[in-house]
Amino acid sequence: MAEAASQRMGLFSNKIGLVMGVANDHSIAWAMSEALYAEGAELAFTHLPTPSGERRVKRLLEPRAPKLILPCDVQNDADIARVFQAVRDTYERLDFLVHSIAFAPPAEIRRPYVDTSRAGWHMAMDISVYSLVAVCREAMPLMPEGSTIVTLSYFGGEKVMPGYNVMGVCKAALEHSVRYLAWDLGREKKIRVNAISAGPMRTLSSAGISDFDQMRDHAAKKACLNRNVFPEELGSTGLYLLSHLSGGVTGELIHVDCGYSIVGL
């Protein structure tokens, strides 16, 4: 069934993508992967090289049998280089990339921003922001003109969201990195780079944010659509940004948050 779906002609037939940041079936990257598979994409995946992470991801991906499931700690340049070498050896090119990775030690996210430690700040920025720069640089030589890259952000990068703290500052830096990367990769190779600002989703990462469920309840009450976003809606916006449908769009941040961010209440 899965194989049949991946073989039918779709928006992404004959397109090869790399998805970084699937932890389990609640991951935003998984919502995007399902949408991409439904449109015929061929996908390669990376996971953090921990035994439990590897087990989780391999179990989830088993029915799809992707050719590449590669360990990659984005803090490690050699891991990143190995991933793109493996993509080159297997496919010789890459048409799109999903970067859905962020991390800060939970204790750092929970403390007021003013109390962020130097080490915690560097780690959060390295994993959540610099990793996009590093993977864009490695992906560029493999990407034909017109290829696409998407990353994930949150409204806490634009406005102060109590409890989001150092991660909010990371998201601000990520969103501006998207603009500079859109310039560099656009000029060099006509590659487009965009970000989705997702409404709050229950995932492994969001479990590290204090009062997350209250944030979600509040978001649903305030949002224009009076609800929280569905994973499929992040998947379909991912399809749009990664496909030719968004041909003239680059350096953009699209809010998929049921209209939460436009309300001044």
Among 12, 84, 96, 103, binds ligand NAP (CB under 6 A): 103
User: Who contacts 178 (Cβ-Cβ below 8 Å, separation ≥6)?
Assistant: 132, 151, 193, 194, 195, 251, 252, 253
Applying CB under 6 A, does 75 fall inside the site for ligand NAP? yes
d(CA 105, CA 208) in angstroms, rounded, equals 8
Of 4-12, 83-91, 97-105, 186-194, the segment contacting ligand NAP by CB under 6 A is 97-105
User: Who contacts 137 (Cβ-Cβ below 8 Å, separation ≥6)?
Assistant: none
Applying CB under 6 A, does 168 fall inside the site for ligand NAP? no
Amino acid, single-letter form, for residue 242: L
B/e letters for 173-203, b = 16+ CB within 10 Å, e = fewer, are bbbebbbebbebbeeebebbbbbbbbbbbeb
> Does the annotation mark 91 as catalytic?
no
Q: Is residue 182 classed as helix, strand or coil in its secondary structure?
A: helix
Among 206, 210, 240, 249, binds ligand NAP (CB under 6 A): 206
d(CA 33, CA 45) in angstroms, rounded, equals 10
Measured from the CB of residue 115, what is the shortest distance to ligand NAP in angstroms?
21
Applying CB under 6 A, does 147 fall inside the site for ligand NAP? no
Q: Of 91, 154, 180, 260, which one is the catalytic site residue?
A: 154
Q: Of 37, 91, 164, 260, which one is the catalytic site residue?
A: 164
> Does the annotation mark 164 as catalytic?
yes
Residues with a known catalytic role = 154, 164
Residues at the interface with ligand NAP (CB under 6 A): 21-23, 27-29, 47-48, 50, 53, 72-75, 100-103, 127, 152-154, 198, 200-201, 203-206
